[in-house]
Structure 1
């Protein structure tokens, strides 16, 4: 009779019970301040990690383990808790052996604390029966002042089981004497058996300088992000309303309306109206042109008119309306003030210029002519006319703009005039719509370029005496060129009295059945008046000019 076999033994394997918790900490300088701040002030939909919102607009969490705090950039803002110190991290990534402690030196005299990231490469023990369970390993963190001796600052004991790397953060105070040495040594003897896994590692250390850093006039965002969510440091993106600037005190930036008569006063508010952003870049004494050039007078009246032009609601091309022009730009590169002002003026199709007394803007918008220039006004009575080159008469434009619905990436908007393309050869150009975050605004910029290139096809050059001293770039004038028309259409007024005007000459062959004369009236506008009779060089009007 044979003996029976024994029952097979099943080893017991303990589950991992150590969990390493690491966080990314990032403090981002996002803008000069003060700013309005996040578009969403109630939730974290304005904060994005790798282009994903932390929460949606209703507060539903999309990414766990994220906390965010921000400051607008005021002069006396409070520091962000947990970011009111300076950190400098040094990577070690070395195994700590019993016989070979690792030593480093801290030389910065301002360091007040040191944070150590230490741990194990794995931690477990196995019995001869195959059972795998927890075990314990100990490390020591030592410090030594200059010309001093080593002293124990902290003992780190790790108990548990983990199959992979596990790290802990431990902070010690810096000694009073600088520089000083820091050391991590192993207290537990090194394992000499394959059954005991207790390797120890020093991952990194961070020098900490405590200070109440509030970063005045700097808009900052502090984020703490769970390391488990990302293998690498995630890209942070913020949807913000930017700088608070001076706007008229009768202006509501939200409704884009003006109440009553403006008396010249200003208040501080956020706006994306290009006129008031232009003014801020000029007049701000901390980051604007006035910071280096001193106080600069600005033509606030012209900007007031411009701002209303920019705020007018126009067709957005998709069945709705939007303001004609908005400026949403993030300036990250150093540039000259003149180039920046020209970029802003260019977006509202204007020119920044000095009129002899103050900085003003010229706007390419419909307006009445301020003067009529004839052969009698120019040197030698000579106008030189030339045509714009054919290759500058574009009929298609590719406009670059920033698309907020696509992660604020650059998008392209194609604009063309099919009738012009059919009549002429295809002629395309490209432009960048500065500060444009609207597809409709990008389309209008392209359309304006095509229309301008194909309607303003001639250029006149002429010289004038001091008659032209009151002109500024961008003024609209009428040109009456007798040589081009083949008859005398204009000249100089020698004298006037009531409705009787004496001129320097009249070509009666060029006078029609119902002659009129254009004169500037008392409100500065050109007005046409009917002629009652002509006797030599004397013209009698049917009504007396204003």
Structure 2
């Protein structure tokens, strides 16, 4: 029988939710990293500071002295033989990264066999340590682990049995030092995790062995090794050891004893002696590598095995200044070497790489190493058809596929932590010539300058394109020239003339030759002299085969000596010898590569020099263009006649293109772009004498010689350019800003010439500046507040034509005191003396003392203490002298401290009073320097800081005027005077207000003043002279001129009354009244329209004129509807519409449209008529239409009649 089961249920209840709680991290790594780095072979020049030591690419200290890392200490040894050991590092440490996880199922084990070891230090890390409970709370966790040691295979001994307990989500580290018993020779360490692995996402228990360090306890000096010791908190780098790098002067090397490596100068004649000094000249670094015994070839070679005399010439070439490529007149040494050699390599490769820094080559000959640079060099020897076997020279060269037209140079950028940077170099002429883009890629070893990398790339391109190779055989004189020598080759089969042979006889300056040379007086003759050298002399006279030179040779040439002649029309080829080989038949085979002596100027300065002609044989028989004609014609542009030159010539057989040049009045040749047409035009010419030359180019890229036209005299532009428009002056602090505009058809403007004068009558004008076109602004600085000058300007075109000056414009520098006070305060607070004046007295005496000790400063400290009361006097002196700066600093700190415990709150209250006197003088190698004296008093009371101080400073910065300044910081600045108890203050500043008892002021500008009693002139006599302004308001002026509006309830006037306005409520008595109230002109019209106004063109015109009066200024009111617009289909900014009076803008807008119901302006007193003009500028990048109109407008002029014309 089945049993019935009752099923029951109930409704679910409700309860409040719970938020999980996370326990704060309570495990913080405090591991210290101590690193000793062997930087290199000593001795180094040093000069290492915290600003050029980098951790992970960040300097320890910024240029302003602020630190980027806290708790970092470091020490440096320059690598001398007798250097002391570095304190703070107990032994030799070799840290080896492991980075493996230690599990409970697999221990980490390592055996050590180095018997020199004293200990092994294990660095452990827990990336995260936590336990997430079932209710969501995140709490700490505990892990037990042991470290065991086994000696010589014996039993395991537990040396560390501990645990880590707590919580961290960001990682926690700790280290254990395990001493190794010195009785053994083999030790094995085992690290075991005792707590079982949780293998749960809710528990973070991963345990890592980050690294182990082999420790040798010893005081090691490491002689001749440059050392850097650095210690820091590993928590700043997430438990890792960051890369450490330095930027400093490295090894001291041997340099000539007459050489100043800093200024790169050589004094006197070098006798071959050396001294030790730092240099970055690559020639002497090359020498150091050869002769150094520790790392170079000095253990195999001696100083006698290197040609130091040639290196001396190379070194001087390296130091020669060349343009730095930044514009202006800046220069830099041609080559420098900044390289850090870290890997060993075979000697030949290293020497070759270092020689490449100065574009050199090395070879071994005669038991010596020779290093020659590709640099300017005189011809060492001459070869002609007369002294080579069979008179035969063999030439070869590469094809266009191996000709480079660009280069990509890799160099080390010091502004990017010496990372590799790429410098592209192009030779556009070679790109056009070869019609291909072949790129040369090279690495500039030791190069840390972009400009030098550019020069190396250009050298590579130009040298590659001078790749003709000559090979020939000679007799025993082939043993004279060595690899690297420059030889002259006079091959009449290539040159087309007889330019070489042998000497028949010689007597003094008269040389008899074996043949008649193709030469003339003024040419040069080079002769191989009996001692094996070549000398050149200028030919004075020629009579057949007898040549007379201007100066005798240093030794008389003998018969059979070789001669070569050169001229500006035909040069001998020059080759640099690459190899000489002795043959079995007593001859020598010489091979050389083409040498271009002009490429050095092209590389260093970018000079454009034509290739030297080495042949008079027409290249490919390409004939020059003929019948070159010059003519001119006139074209009207914008209603202006423009003269154009046209050059034409006949088509030349086989020519596919032409290159043309023209010049005016014997000036420089101007290139015309290469073209296939037989003509070109030059618009907008100026009057003068013109000459044109053209050459033809055939399909083989062979060009003809130049074909010349007859000289032609042409007429060109005449007259003067228009004047600048809209000259206006704007007030700025310490100066005046000028701006103006350019009328239409002024694109040939060269400059705007500005004159100024301080005289109101405009006398004695002075040239202010020549402003290059198209700049339309100029700022005159260095003026006093409220200083007034008058300005005018004129345009000067490229041929020197002048427009004539504009009317004078008045300008005044800013005269608002508030603007200057704000700027003066900002300048002070942003300068070093201002920062020193306003910053708090630096910390406690103990902190100052520790900082001084760390910086090796001189210290004098005296103190007294009684319980919580203490008084200190601390004097710190610092002196620094190195290649970067010279610094002297003296700081005196006087401090009194009183600490007490508040009986109510239990808090410690510390009140401190301190005085600080600091004197600093510094001068840097960039030419900037300063001398600053500051004295401050400060009180720290109740948690608030109060201070007062004074600074005296002289600051010199490059490119700025020297600043001298005295500044005070206080709520009250009081000057006291008197004696014997009778003291008073004649002058004081309290909370920003200035109090003066008595003052004599010659000139003053006052925005607002309150007079508490009476203000009067020094010559005041009531009823006779002077003036008096009493507090009662009863003002007396014995002679007064009033302009403007006068309000009076009554008045008595005797004589003439001149007034621009008046409002009299009472009776006016006047013997005579001059001047009408107003004049007006109504219903005037304006309708101006001009089409085709070019971009940048300005349309001008006159509305009306107002007559001036010498006695009155006038107010002019213009009413009526004005509409102006610029209509053009284009874009661009710069359009404006302006109504102008005396050069000042009185109405308008900087836009393409403008409308107005009227405007008002003032006309100053004077003589003559003042025009009211308009100027409209088309700022759109397309021609347009300009319109300005008014159907009816009225002009109202106050104060005089009949003034509107």
Q: Classify the TM-score, shorter chain.
A: 0.7 to 0.9
- In structure 2, the residue matched to 1:4 is none
- In structure 2, the residue matched to 1:442 is 453
Secondary structure in 1 matching 2:501: coil
Distance 2:445 2:125 in 1: 52
The reply on whether 1:19 has 2:32 as its aligned counterpart is: no
- In structure 2, the residue matched to 1:67 is 73
Instruction: Say how many residue pairs are matched.
Output: 524
Q: CA distance change for structure 1 residues 328 and 140 in 2, over 3 Å: closer, same or farther?
A: closer
Deviates more, 1:51-60 or 1:76-85: 76-85
Secondary structure in 1 matching 2:470: strand
Where do residues 423-434 of structure 1 align in structure 2 (5 Å cutoff)?
A: 423-430=433-440, 431-434=442-445
Distance 2:381 2:356 in 1: 25
Residue number among 455, 463, 469 corresponding to 2:479 in the alignment = 469
Secondary structure in 1 matching 2:480: coil
- In structure 1, the residue matched to 2:418 is 408
- In structure 1, the residue matched to 2:284 is 276
Secondary structure in 2 matching 1:334: coil
Q: CA distance change for structure 1 residues 471 and 27 in 2, over 3 Å: closer, same or farther?
A: same
- In structure 1, the residue matched to 2:40 is 31
Q: CA distance change for structure 1 residues 64 and 498 in 2, over 3 Å: closer, same or farther?
A: same
Deviates more, 1:403-412 or 1:16-25: 16-25
Unaligned runs of 5+ in 2: 1-16, 555-1205
- In structure 2, the residue matched to 1:3 is none
Residue number among 336, 345, 351 corresponding to 2:361 in the alignment = 351
* TM-superposed deviation, 1:263: 2.4
* TM-superposed deviation, 1:106: 5.7
Q: CA distance change for structure 1 residues 180 and 364 in 2, over 3 Å: closer, same or farther?
A: closer
* TM-superposed deviation, 1:277: 0.8
* TM-superposed deviation, 1:274: 0.8
Distance 1:514 1:202 in 2: 87
Where do residues 428-507 of structure 1 align in structure 2 (5 Å cutoff)?
A: 428-430=438-440, 431-454=442-465, 456=466, 458-503=468-513, 505-507=514-516
- In structure 2, the residue matched to 1:5 is none
CA contact (8 A) 2:124 2:173 kept: yes
* TM-superposed deviation, 1:439: 0.2
Distance 2:542 2:189 in 1: 104
Map Cα deviations across residues 15-45 of structure 1 (whole Å, 9 max, x no partner): 55543312344443332332224xx5232x2
Map Cα deviations across residues 269-314 of structure 1 (whole Å, 9 max, x no partner): 2211011011111111221123345555222222112111111111
Where do residues 212-227 of structure 1 align in structure 2 (5 Å cutoff)?
A: 212-227=219-234
Map Cα deviations across residues 377-410 of structure 1 (whole Å, 9 max, x no partner): 1111112233443334322211111111112111
Where do residues 2-401 of structure 1 align in structure 2 (5 Å cutoff)?
A: 16-37=25-46, 41-43=48-50, 45-80=51-86, 81-82=88-89, 84-87=91-94, 94=102, 108-115=114-121, 161-163=166-168, 166-178=172-184, 179=186, 203=209, 206-231=213-238, 232-293=240-301, 296-319=304-327, 320-401=330-411
Instruction: Give the TM-score, by structure 1 length.
Output: 0.80
Secondary structure in 2 matching 1:276: helix
CA contact (8 A) 2:527 2:534 kept: no
Distance 1:397 1:117 in 2: 50
CA contact (8 A) 1:384 1:460 kept: yes
CA contact (8 A) 1:25 1:222 kept: yes
CA contact (8 A) 1:402 1:408 kept: yes
* TM-superposed deviation, 1:442: 0.6
Map Cα deviations across residues 446-485 of structure 1 (whole Å, 9 max, x no partner): 222233344x353322111112322122222222223334
Distance 1:420 1:150 in 2: 77
Instruction: Give the TM-score, by structure 2 length.
Output: 0.39
Q: CA distance change for structure 1 residues 167 and 174 in 2, over 3 Å: closer, same or farther?
A: same
CA contact (8 A) 1:191 1:198 kept: no
Distance 2:494 2:137 in 1: 107
Deviates more, 1:203-212 or 1:257-266: 203-212
Map Cα deviations across residues 100-157 of structure 1 (whole Å, 9 max, x no partner): 999876655433234455798859999xx99999999998777675687777767758
Deviates more, 1:269-278 or 1:111-120: 111-120
Specify the structure having the higher radius of gyration (Cα). 2
CA RMSD of aligned residues (A): 4.3
Distance 2:244 2:179 in 1: 32
Distance 2:45 2:342 in 1: 18
Q: CA distance change for structure 1 residues 368 and 21 in 2, over 3 Å: closer, same or farther?
A: same
Select the structure that is richer in strand.
Answer: 2
CA contact (8 A) 1:96 1:202 kept: no
Distance 2:155 2:463 in 1: 81
Deviates more, 1:307-316 or 1:72-81: 72-81
CA contact (8 A) 2:147 2:159 kept: yes
CA contact (8 A) 1:137 1:198 kept: no
Deviates more, 1:61-70 or 1:88-97: 88-97
